[in-house]
Amino acid sequence: MNPFVEKIIPLILSFFLGLAAKHLKMMSKEDAPILLKFVLNISLPALTIIAINNVRVSVDMLMIPLFAMLVVLAMYGISNLSQKGLKMPKTMFGSFLVGTMIMNTAYALPFFSAAFGDEGLARASLFDIGNTFMIFTFTYFNAIKYGDNPHTDKIQWIKFLRLAPLWAMLIAFLVKLSGLAVPELGLNFLSLVGLPTTPLVMIALGLYFEPKLKNLGKAFIAIFIRMGIGLGIGYLLALIFGLQGLTRTTVIVCSALPIGFNTLIFANLENMDREFAATMVSFSIIIALLYLPLLIYLFS
């Protein structure tokens, strides 16, 4: 069997394990945020430190967060143009807009880790930082704008500044640039703590899967913008900036990621169309199970 396929199949099986656990009532959708919270605050920061410790830092790597921000801004413009033809209600368009802007970078991490090891994980994590910055600033501002809540919250910059992977990345880069060596005991501990990241993310995806048939056509338009046009934008950025190697692969593939979980969170928080948000997220996840490995294979 192809070595790449051998690495990807366990990821897909982990997704279906999450589905089975929910179906058998061993776990529920409410458990998914707990798994992802553990990944975000504990296992992913540990894995990020190891990944950056093991790779050669280059200038093009440091530009990856900027490319993620450019993709989000492009999605914002394209989705606003599409509203003229679709004529959706305000709260539905809010979910539509936010969904196209939020890339599910947690989804990318297991695939990049399996396909490229530490080099891939480090670059995907950098793309995640740029995407997350936009989620808790510009994207959240639009969720407030199109939500049906009477209050007017301010952008919550503090949420971005509290992200554990961000601080883990800063620490790892400082250690790397200072020339200090992380003790073997520390690396072994971080490796142990970071080990659950991949299966937990995929199991959480399975628990989150909850498709609805209502407004399916509009949901697939949002998915096409996020994953289809997003792919084109990533490819265009790679051409314009002359990206090469794994950085090129990261920008192109991550630009085509499925719709992120924060779409559901913002829809609930700001009283946008929750059911429409769940439909977009669920169908984009199942499409990405085959779409993402194919893109990694084609653009490697």
DSSP notation for 123-134: HHHHHHHHHHHH
Q: How far apart are CA 40 and CA 191, in angstroms?
A: 15
Q: What is the pLDDT of residues 30-65, one digit of tens each?
A: 898 888 889 888 988 898 888 778 777 777 888 999
* Residue 10: partners with Cβ closer than 8 Å, 6 or more residues away: 114
Predicted local confidence at residue 83, as pLDDT = 86
Instruction: Please name the residue that has the structure tokens 């439909």.
Output: 279
Q: What is the pLDDT of residues 204-230, one digit of tens each?
A: 878 888 777 778 999 999 999 999 999
Contact present, 147 and 263 (Cβ < 8 Å): no
pTM equals 0.81
Q: How far apart are CA 142 and CA 155, in angstroms?
A: 10
Q: How far apart are CA 268 and CA 143, in angstroms?
A: 10
User: From the CB of residue 209, how many other CB atoms can be counted at a distance below 10 Å?
Assistant: 20
Tell which residue, 125, 95, 126, has the closest CA to residue 109.
Answer: 125
- Mean pLDDT throughout 127-143? 87
State the alpha helices, DSSP H only, in the chain: 3-23, 32-38, 44-53, 59-62, 64-86, 90-101, 105-134, 140-146, 157-161, 164-178, 184-194, 197-208, 216-223, 230-240, 245-254, 262-269, 274-299
Predicted local confidence at residue 67, as pLDDT = 97
Q: Is the pLDDT confidence value at 155 over 70? A: no
Predicted local confidence at residue 256, as pLDDT = 97
